[in-house]
Amino acid sequence: MSPRFGFTPVVPPFAGAGQVEEVVAEYMAALEAAGGERWDLAHYDRPDQLCFLIATGGTESVVLDLYVARQESVADEPVVLIAHPGNNSLPAALEVLARLQQDGVRGRIVFLRSPDDATGLAALDSALHDADVWRRLHTTRIGLIGDPSDWLVASMPEAMTVREVWGPEVVQVPLSELETAIDTVPDEKAADGVASLSGDADAVAEPSAEELTDVARVHAALETLVERHDLDALTVRCFDLVLDRQTTGCFALSALTDAGVIAGCEGDLVSTVGLLWTSLVTGEIPWMANPAELDEGADTLKLAHCTVPRGLVDRYRLRSHFESGLGVGIQGDIPLGPVTLVRIGGSMMDALWLAEGEITANGDAENLCRTQVDIVLSRGHVSELLRAPLGNHIVLVRGHHADHLAEWWETML
């Protein structure tokens, strides 16, 4: 079995022979049992996370030199330092991370109180998971199909900003390429898409058979672009499909997300990064929606959008797209219960709003986008959205994950 991570036990230059084994032999055994492998410099070109096991004090400069050596193969990797109670290990780790953070390096200290410290080993597992999220973001390709929608005046980051701050490469694909792909979808593939879309629906309200076929073609065409451009995620200037073709991307974005290709609406790169990030950190299916109503006194808000991943809902109905009355929108019922809300923003995508709450009801108001949920917050305040908004769309995932997301943000971004 290949190792899950590597670790280098670090002692000062003046250490005697065998001091590593004498001080941290039991800790090394615990790390090996957790999927680790002892590495020396010859292993530093491997892609898995490298951790530094601080055996004793006096190792600060040695760790810094080893980190520089690692950077030759894995640039900007978050640092994970493992400390233990003896031999001035923890003071050395604190000094090292303080210096690295001064230099702009992200990272985390994991403190093991003993070789069998279940809490500490769980913290190591979390740190490794979060470092893996960092890696996956830095190998992700997000397709921007067309330009961001014109109204996203606070959500139009440069591709280089997305790359430098968050890691993903933005692959710009002209909308004309999507339209050409739509026109070449075989009839039988479109028919399969219609069956997938309507087979589990509780009802089909406004959409006609022709409209169902049209949105199935959009889905098949986007699948083609995903394969052609090797995309892990995408966002589409979808309202142009409404204007130019009288169809919608709502089904396509829902189905792609369910299939593991995170898909955002309206060419919104900021929210698509938010969808991707929350999904990777939490393992939950994310939903992107508009804040439609809020009540400052009660700390409640309503979110609504015309698409939702069907893997997130208990049931769904096929409706028209709300704003246009055309194509197909999805009206889904998201299970009641705990949720986390996320909004990334700022000119450099380095601001964050986090909140937690409970879905208390699904809605069916006819003057809003089709999928609607009422949420009462237990952490964070809706007033923050009014006083310091980071933009329109908000990302929702099921469960309470704000602490984990905040820790990732503070130590990995």
Give the pTM. Answer: 0.94
Most confident segment among 52-56, 239-243, 319-323: 52-56
For residue 272, the model assigns a pLDDT of 97
Angle between helices 250-258 and 209-229 (to 10 degrees): 50
Selected residue with higher pLDDT from 90 and 242? 90
CA distance 45 to 73: 5
Residue 342, strand partner residues = 354, 395
For residue 151, the model assigns a pLDDT of 81
Give residues with Cβ within 8 angstroms of 372, minimum separation 6.
Answer: 292, 302, 303, 304, 362, 363, 364, 365
Q: Which helix (H) or strand (E) holds 33?
A: helix 19-33
For residue 17, the model assigns a pLDDT of 60
For residue 155, the model assigns a pLDDT of 81
Query: Does domain 5-137 bear CATH number 3.40.50.10940?
Result: yes
For residue 22, the model assigns a pLDDT of 82
Lowest mean pLDDT of 151-155, 272-276, 332-336, name the range: 151-155
CA distance 306 to 267: 15
DSSP calls for 90-119: HHHHHHHHHHHHHTT--EEEEE-SSTT-HH
Tokens of 143: 């397709």
Parallel, antiparallel, or unpaired for β 107-111 and 79-83?
parallel
Give residues with Cβ within 8 angstroms of 129, minimum separation 6.
Answer: none
The beta strands (E) that lie in 188-249 are given as 203-204, 233-236
Q: pLDDT tens for residues 387-399?
A: 999 999 999 999 9
CA distance 413 to 335: 31
Of the pLDDT bands very low, low, confident and very high (cuts 50, 70, 90), residue 137 is: very high
Superfamily grouping for domain 141-412: L-fucose Isomerase; Chain A, domain 2 (3.40.275.10)
Cα atoms in the 13 Å half-sphere on the side-chain side of 156: 10
Distance of CA 208 to the CA centre of its chain: 35
Task: Map residue 396 onto helix, strand or coil.
Answer: strand
Q: What integer is the mean pLDDT of 339-355? A: 96
Between the alpha carbon of residue 270 and those of residues 88, 169, 253, 273, 347, the distances in Å are 43, 13, 16, 5, 10
Give residues with Cβ within 8 angstroms of 285, minimum separation 6.
Answer: 257, 258, 279, 309, 311, 312, 397, 398
Say whether pLDDT at 307 is over 90.
yes
For residue 199, the model assigns a pLDDT of 85
For residue 295, the model assigns a pLDDT of 97
CB 146 within 8 A of CB 175: yes
Q: pLDDT tens for residues 30-71?
A: 999 999 999 999 999 999 999 999 999 999 999 999 999 999
CA distance 292 to 404: 27
For residue 209, the model assigns a pLDDT of 94
CB 146 within 8 A of CB 55: no
For residue 150, the model assigns a pLDDT of 82
325: left (phi over 0), alpha (psi -120 to 50) or beta: left
- For the chain, the C-alpha Rg in angstroms (whole number) is 24
Give residues with Cβ within 8 angstroms of 283, minimum separation 6.
Answer: none
Of the pLDDT bands very low, low, confident and very high (cuts 50, 70, 90), residue 109 is: very high
Say whether pLDDT at 1 is over 60.
no
Report how far apart the first and last C-alpha atoms of the chain are (Å, whole number). Answer: 30
Of the pLDDT bands very low, low, confident and very high (cuts 50, 70, 90), residue 2 is: low
Tokens of 404: 């984990």
For residue 240, the model assigns a pLDDT of 85
Tokens of 244: 């130019």
Task: Map residue 30 onto helix, strand or coil.
Answer: helix
**Mean model confidence pLDDT for the chain:** 94
Look up tokens 């055994």; give the residue: 29
Say whether pLDDT at 136 is over 90.
yes
Measuring CA to CA, which residue among 307, 295, 285, 273 is closest to residue 383? 295
Buried b (16+ CB within 10 A) or exposed e, 79-88: bbbbbbeebb
Give residues with Cβ within 8 angstroms of 76, minimum separation 6.
Answer: 105, 138
Residue ranges per domain, the chain?
A: 5-137, 141-412
Given this chain, do its domains 5-137 and 141-412 carry the same CATH topology? no
For residue 346, the model assigns a pLDDT of 94
Give residues with Cβ within 8 angstroms of 260, minimum separation 6.
Answer: none
User: Residue 409 has what DSSP assignment?
Assistant: H
Cα atoms in the 13 Å half-sphere on the side-chain side of 310: 21
CB 280 within 8 A of CB 392: no
